[in-house]
C-alpha cells in the first residue's frame, strides 16, 4: 500500500478491530465496532474514530468519503477539525477520495489537530474558516499532505562533489536526497536580521542506481557529511482541487513568532488546483506567517489556477537592535525541487507596499512562475535555476541569490530594479541571467533613477561562500519605461552602485567579489530616450564587457 497501514480488519461481529494501530503524525486510532460511527478525543489529544462495519462497507463501496460522514456540521460555527481529521485518516487507510460537502462552511478554531491528506481531495466550492485569533499551537498546520513513505539514512557516503553525476548507493526507486554538513556554515546573514548562518545543505533527486538528475544538480562540495537521507518519491500524483479558505488573522505582538496554520505539502508529485485563500481581520499588530501553501522536502509540485493573498507588513526590532519589516508569506518553498506556479494571482494590489511579497523560498531548485501576477519572487538561501515567464511582478519585484540560470521572459517587472541580488546573503549568483521580451517599469512608474541589476557588496563580510555576480547577462528586447525620473537623471544603469567606497585600487576586499564578465544587449529601448550606461560606479565595473 502507498500509505502506512493501520492493519485494520473489519469484522462482522461486535469485536474490536485486530491490529489496531496509530499513525503518530495523525495521532488517530481507528476501530470498527458495531455501535455507531463516532469521533471522540481521548487522553493526550488522541483522536478515536469508530466506524461501524456497515458504514465502512458503504464508504469503501462508494470510493469516497465526505466530512459529514464523520460528523462535520459545516455550519461555519461548529469547530469541525476533528471530523475533518477523522475523514482523512479513514480515507488514507482505505485509499479513498475525500470530497467536501457542497455548500458547507467548515470552521476551524483554536484546537491543535492536523488533518493528514494522503489521497486525492476535492474541496470543491466549500468554504473553510481558519480562526487564528486564539490557537493552542500556532506552529501546527491545519492540513498536512503527507508521504506514506519514511526517509531512511544512507550509509558509507562521506563526501560529495559539486555536479557529481552519481552516488554509490542502491535504492528501492527514485529518491529525494537531503545532505547536510553541520561543521560548515553557509548563508551567514548580514544586516538588520544578521545571524551566524545555517549548516551546509543540499537536496537532489537520484534514480534507484544513484544516478543524479542533472536538471537539479549537486551545487556544493561536501568535504564531510554529518547526515544524508533518502525519501522515496511516489510514482502516482496526488491532486487537491478547489476550496475557499479564509484566515482570520492573529492579533499577536509584532515579533518573529511565525504562524503555520496552513496547508503543508511534504509529498512529491502533487497538484494543487483552483484553491483560493483570503485573509481578514488584520489589525494594528500581528505575528508573521510562514506561507498558507508551505511546500517543503519534496519534488514535482504544481500549483495552478490558484488565488492567494499578501499579508499585511508589520515591523519589529531585528537582531541588530533596529526596526525591521518582518517577512510574512502566503507561499513558502523550502528544500523543494521542480515547483511550479501556473496561472496564479493574488487578491490584493501587487503594487501596494502595505503588503509583503507573497513568496519566500530557501534551498530550492527549478522554481517556475508562468502566467502569474504576484508582488514578488524571492529566493533567500539560494535557488538553483529559476524561470519567470508571461508574468507580472509588483512592487517587490525579483529578489534572488543562487546559481544556474535565471530566465525572465515575456514579463513585466514593476520593482525597484529588474533583478535584485539580495545583499543580506552576498548579492551572489553563480551562473547566467537571460532576460527576453520584457517590460521594466522602475518603481511602478514613480520618479527614480533606474537600474537593471541591483545589490550591495562590501567585501568585508564572510557569507560562508565565495560571492559571484552573474558571469554573463543577456538582455534582448527590453523596454525600460523610465519617463518619470529626476532632473539629473543620466539614463538607466546596467548595475546599481554595489559599493560606493570602491572608487579606486586602494580599496581592498577581504572577501573578493567575482564580477560579471560580459553583458550582451540587443534591442534595449528607453522611454526617456537616454542610453543605457554601465553604472554610477564605473570603476567597480570597469572590466565588464558590454556588447550591443
What does the alpha-carbon distance between residue 513 and residue 458 come to, in Å, rounded to a whole number?
9
Nearest to 237 by CA among 89, 99, 119: 119
Local structure of 280: helix, strand or coil: strand
Residue carrying C-alpha cell 542506481: 209
* DSSP one-letter string for 374-418: EEEEEEEEEEEEEEEES-EEEEEEEEEEEEEEEEEES-EE-SSEE
Ramachandran area for residue 218 (φ above 0: left; ψ -120 to 50: alpha; else beta): beta
Pair (371, 425) in one structural domain? no
Instruction: Count other C-beta atoms under 10 Å from residue 257's C-beta.
Output: 15
333: phi then psi, degrees, rounded to nearest 5: -130, 120
Residue 4, in any domain of the structure: no
Q: Compute φ and ψ for 326, nearest 5 degrees.
A: -90, 130
Beta-strand pair 143-146/115-117: parallel
**Which of 100, 131, 162 is the endpoint of a domain?**
131
Does 103 share its domain with 190?
Answer: no
Q: Is residue 83 part of a domain?
A: yes
Dig out the grid coordinates for 119 from the structure: 489521497
Q: How many CB atoms lie within 10 A of CB 168?
A: 9
Backbone angles phi and psi of 502, in degrees to 5: -90, 85
pLDDT of residue 41: 93
The string of DSSP codes covering 21-36 is: -EETTTTEEEE--SS-
Contacts of 232 (CB under 8 A, 6+ apart): 147, 149, 171, 172, 173, 174, 175
Domain boundary residue, one of 168, 202, 232? 232
Residue at 176 is within a domain: yes
Query: Which residues of 451-492 form beta strands (DSSP E)?
Result: 451-454, 467-468, 472-480
Residue 480, domain member (yes or no): yes
The reply to whether 370 and 447 lie within a common domain is: no
- In angstroms, the CA 389 to CA 396 distance is 17
Same structural domain, 239 and 359: yes
Neighbour tally for 358: CB within 10 Å: 31
Residue 378 CB neighbour total at 10 angstroms: 26
Task: Say what the pLDDT of residue 13 is.
Answer: 27
Structural domain containing residue 109: 22-131
Q: Which residues pair with residue 301 across a beta bridge?
A: 270, 339
Task: For the chain, report the end-to-end CA distance as a whole number of angstroms.
Answer: 59
pLDDT number for residue 1: 38
* Whether residue 252 sits in one domain with residue 123: no
Domains held by the chain: number: 4
Q: Which three cell numbers stand for residue 537?
A: 560606479
Task: List, for the chain, all residue ranges whose pLDDT scores fall below the cut of 70.
Answer: 1-26
Query: How far is residue 547's CA from residue 128's CA, in Å, rounded to a whole number?
Result: 55
Beta bridge partners of 263: 143, 293
Q: Of 350, 375, 401, which residue is a domain's last? A: 401
Q: Measured between alpha carbons, how far is 178 from 201 in angstroms, rounded to an integer?
A: 7
Alpha helices (H) along 12-137: 53-62, 81-94
Instruction: Identify whether 368 is part of a domain.
Output: yes
Please check whether residues 226 and 250 belong to one and the same domain. no
- The residues that bridge with 323 in the sheet, in sequence order, are 317
- Residue 259 located in a structural domain: yes
Q: Is 351 in the same domain as 486?
A: no
Pair (256, 393) in one structural domain: yes
Q: Are residues 368 and 264 in the same domain?
A: yes
Let me know whether 222 and 249 are in one domain. Answer: no
Burial classification of residue 470, based on how many CB atoms lie within 10 Å of its CB (0-12 exposed, 13-18 middle, 19 or more buried): buried
Strand order in the sheet with 227-232: 152-153, 227-232, 175-186, 198-206
- Report how far residue 359's alpha carbon sits from residue 375's, in angstroms, rounded to the nearest whole number: 8
401: left (phi over 0), alpha (psi -120 to 50) or beta: beta
User: Distance between CA 502 and CA 510 in Å, rounded?
Assistant: 13
Three-class secondary structure of residue 67 per DSSP: helix
CB neighbours of residue 424 within 10 Å: 19
- Residue 410 lies inside a defined structural domain of this protein: no
Is the domain of 220 the same as that of 104? no
Whose cell is 469485536? That residue is 15
Q: Does residue 481 sit in the same domain as residue 428?
A: yes
Residue 326 domain flag: yes
Amino acid at each position: 500500500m502507498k500509505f502506512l497501514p493501520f492493519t485494520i480488519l473489519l469484522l462482522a461481529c461486535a469485536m474490536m478491530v485486530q491490529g489496531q494501530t496509530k499513525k503518530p503524525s495523525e495521532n488517530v486510532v481507528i476501530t470498527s465496532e458495531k455501535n455507531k460511527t463516532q469521533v471522540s478525543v481521548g487522553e493526550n489529544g488522541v483522536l478515536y474514530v469508530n466506524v461501524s462495519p456497515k458504514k465502512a462497507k458503504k464508504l469503501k463501496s462508494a470510493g469516497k468519503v465526505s466530512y459529514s460522514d464523520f460528523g462535520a456540521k459545516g455550519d461555519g460555527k461548529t469547530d469541525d477539525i476533528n471530523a475533518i481529521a477523522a475523514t482523512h485518516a479513514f480515507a488514507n487507510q482505505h485509499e479513498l477520495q475525500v470530497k467536501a460537502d457542497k455548500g458547507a462552511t467548515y470552521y476551524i478554531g483554536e484546537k491543535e489537530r492536523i488533518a493528514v491528506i494522503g489521497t486525492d481531495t476535492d474541496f470543491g466550492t466549500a468554504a473553510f474558516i481558519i480562526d487564528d485569533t486564539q490557537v493552542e499551537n500556532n506552529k501546527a498546520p491545519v492540513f498536512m499532505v503527507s508521504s506514506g513513505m519514511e526517509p531512511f539514512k544512507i550509509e558509507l557516503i562521506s563526501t560529495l562533489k559539486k555536479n557529481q553525476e552519481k552516488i554509490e548507493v542502491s535504492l528501492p526507486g527514485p529518491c529525494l536526497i537531503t545532505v547536510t554538513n553541520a561543521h560548515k556554515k553557509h548563508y551567514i546573514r548580514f544586516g538588520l536580521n544578521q545571524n551566524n548562518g545555517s549548516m551546509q545543505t543540499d537536496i537532489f533527486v537520484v534514480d534507484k542506481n544513484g544516478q543524479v538528475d542533472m536538471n537539479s544538480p549537486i551545487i556544493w562540495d561536501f568535504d564531510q557529511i554529518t547526515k544524508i537521507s533518502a525519501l522515496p518519491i511516489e510514482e502516482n500524483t496526488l491532486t487537491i482541487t478547489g476550496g475557499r479558505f479564509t484566515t482570520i488573522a492573529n492579533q499577536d505582538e509584532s515579533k518573529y513568532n511565525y504562524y503555520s496554520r496552513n496547508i503543508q505539502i511534504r509529498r512529491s508529485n502533487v497538484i494543487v488546483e483552483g484553491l483560493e485563500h483570503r485573509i481578514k481581520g488584520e489589525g494594528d499588530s500581528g505575528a508573521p506567517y510562514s506561507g498558507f501553501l508551505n511546500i517543503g522536502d519534496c519534488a514535482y509540485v504544481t500549483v495552478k489556477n490558484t488565488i492567494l493573498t499578501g499579508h499585511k507588513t508589520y515591523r519589529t526590532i531585528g537582531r541588530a537592535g533596529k526596526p525591521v519589516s518582518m517577512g510574512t508569506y502566503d507561499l513558502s518553498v523550502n528544500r523543494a525541487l521542480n515547483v511550479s506556479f501556473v496561472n496564479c494571482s493574488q487578491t490584493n494590489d501587487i503594487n501596494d507596499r502595505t503588503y509583503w511579497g507573497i513568496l519566500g523560498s530557501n534551498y530550492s531548485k527549478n522554481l517556475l512562475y508562468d502566467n502569474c501576477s504576484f508582488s514578488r519572487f524571492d529566493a533567500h538561501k539560494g535557488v538553483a535555476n529559476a524561470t519567470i515567464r508571461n508574468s507580472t511582478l509588483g512592487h517587490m519585484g525579483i529578489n534572488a541569490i543562487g546559481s544556474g540560470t535565471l530566465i525572465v521572459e515575456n514579463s513585466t517587472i514593476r520593482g525597484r530594479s529588474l533583478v535584485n541580488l539580495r545583499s543580506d546573503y552576498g548579492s551572489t549568483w553563480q551562473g547566467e541571467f537571460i532576460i527576453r521580451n520584457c517590460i521594466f517599469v522602475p518603481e511602478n512608474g514613480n520618479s527614480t533613477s533606474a537600474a537593471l541589476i541591483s545589490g550591495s557588496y562590501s567585501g568585508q563580510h564572510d557569507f560562508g561562500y565565495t560571492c559571484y555576480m552573474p558571469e554573463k547577462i543577456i538582455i534582448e528586447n527590453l523596454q525600460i519605461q523610465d519617463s518619470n525620473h529626476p532632473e539629473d537623471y543620466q539614463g538607466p544603469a546596467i548595475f546599481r552602485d554595489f559599493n560606493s567606497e570602491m572608487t579606486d585600487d586602494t580599496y581592498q576586499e577581504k572577501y573578493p567579489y567575482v564580477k560579471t564578465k560580459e553583458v550582451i544587449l540587443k534591442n534595449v529601448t528607453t522611454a526617456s530616450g537616454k542610453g543605457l550606461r554601465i553604472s554610477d560606479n564605473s570603476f567597480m565595473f570597469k572590466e565588464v564587457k558590454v556588447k550591443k
